[in-house]
């Protein structure tokens, strides 16, 4: 059983944290419709969607990926880099404690889940404005007993590592080469995003498909040319909050 934990779009989403994007008018009602369609797609691809308690006063709380790293053996509760987001982890930790032993990133270190790319027994951890080297070291110590190697990765130009690179097949990464060097991921083949779509590297491999924002058709065509089945979903309003398809869910495998 694969559970996808999500959280409803906050009515205060327009007040979200932004780092690399200009703040634009954001239609919160439309963002909620996009999120509903995203949840429906996750269900169609074989997950059981469960919503976390709503957090109407926390603008970024819909982006649940940033609050935890969930592995088969353990869940690591993060300490988000934006101070306004740290209350988001409390309800996530309460829910995940029913499924996994928990470890916690300790102050003053900070880590966002969007900076963590799990690829088998290797965990690539991006060093960013939200994730510190101390936090990456803490993550490495937490997961080392279970046979994981944590590899720090430098990148630039975007909020999170998974804004620059995600895994779309067992040995294939979708990435923006202007933001992250493919050489940082030995053993993987790199599929560059279309240069006209620099934000198109965020994708979610799920149920034999790749979930991907529908407003990046050129990059979708590149994935389809590789033989990948792409499940497109509208994300235009959520993208104004620096969101991608990975950040709106936490996947937990049970049994």
Q: What is the CATH number of the domain that holds 198?
A: 3.75.10.10
Asked if residue 17 has pLDDT above 90, the reply is: no
pLDDT of residue 30: 96
pLDDT of residue 98: 97
Asked if residue 206 has pLDDT above 90, the reply is: yes
pLDDT of residue 20: 82
Asked if 169 contacts 205 with a C-beta cutoff of 8 angstroms, the reply is yes
Q: What residues are annotated to the active site? A: 160, 247
d(CA 88, CA 105): 14
- As to burial, measured by CB atoms within 10 angstroms (0-12 exposed, 13-18 middle, 19+ buried), residue 145 is exposed
- Average pLDDT, integer, range 223-232: 98
Q: What are phi and psi of 96, to 5 degrees?
A: -70, -25
Q: Where are the alpha helices (DSSP H) in 66-123?
A: 88-96
Q: Which of the four pLDDT bands, split at 50, 70 and 90, describes residue 19? A: confident
Whether a cis peptide bond, with omega within 30° of 0, leads into 108 is: yes
Bridge partners, 116 (sequence order)? 125
- Average pLDDT, integer, range 199-221: 97
Write the DSSP string, 128-156: -SS--HHHHHHHHHHHGGGT-EEEEEE--
Number of domains forming the structure of the chain: 1
Asked if residue 16 has pLDDT above 90, the reply is: no
Per-residue DSSP letter, 79: B
Cα–Cα distances in Å, from 219 out to 96, 239, 245, 246?
34, 16, 15, 17
d(CA 35, CA 201): 19
Asked if 234 contacts 37 with a C-beta cutoff of 8 angstroms, the reply is yes
If residue 227 lies in a helix (H) or strand (E), which one and from where to where?
none
Q: Which of the four pLDDT bands, split at 50, 70 and 90, describes residue 219? A: very high
pLDDT digits (tens, 9 = 90+) for 82-112: 999 999 999 999 999 999 999 999 999 999 9
Q: What is the chain's length? A: 255
- Average pLDDT, integer, range 229-244: 95
pLDDT digits (tens, 9 = 90+) for 151-203: 999 999 999 999 999 999 999 999 999 999 999 999 999 999 999 999 999 99
pLDDT of residue 21: 83
pLDDT digits (tens, 9 = 90+) for 26-81: 999 999 999 999 999 999 999 999 999 999 999 999 999 999 999 999 999 999 99
> Domain range holding 157?
2-253
pLDDT of residue 233: 98
Asked if 199 contacts 158 with a C-beta cutoff of 8 angstroms, the reply is yes
Q: Which of 184, 227, 240 is nearest to 59 (CA)?
A: 240
């Amino acid at each position: 059983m694969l559970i996808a934990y999500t959280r409803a779009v906050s009515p205060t989403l327009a007040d979200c944290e932004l780092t690399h994007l200009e703040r634009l008018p954001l239609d919160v009602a439309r963002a909620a419709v996009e999120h509903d369609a995203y949840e429906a797609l996750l269900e169609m691809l074989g997950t059981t969607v469960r919503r976390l308690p709503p957090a109407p006063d926390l603008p970024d709380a819909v982006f649940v990926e940033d609050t935890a790293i969930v592995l088969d053996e353990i869940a690591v509760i993060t300490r988000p880099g934006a101070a306004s987001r740290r209350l988001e982890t409390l309800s996530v930790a309460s829910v995940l404690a029913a499924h996994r032993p928990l470890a916690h990133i300790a102050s003053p270190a900070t880590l966002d889940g969007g900076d963590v790319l799990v690829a088998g027994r290797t965990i690539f951890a991006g060093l960013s404005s939200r994730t510190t080297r101390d936090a990456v070291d803490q993550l490495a110590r937490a997961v080392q007993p279970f046979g994981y190697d944590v590899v720090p990765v430098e990148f630039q130009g975007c909020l999170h590592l998974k804004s620059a690179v995600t895994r779309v097949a067992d040995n294939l990464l979708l990435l923006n080469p202007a933001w992250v060097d493919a050489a940082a991921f030995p053993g993987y083949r790199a599929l560059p995003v279309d240069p006209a779509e620099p934000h198109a590297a965020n994708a979610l491999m799920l149920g034999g498909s790749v979930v991907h924002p529908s407003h990046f058709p050129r990059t979708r065509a590149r994935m389809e040319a590789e033989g990948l089945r792409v499940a497109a979903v509208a994300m235009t309003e959520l993208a104004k909050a620096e969101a991608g398809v990975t950040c709106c869910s936490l996947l937990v495998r049970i049994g």
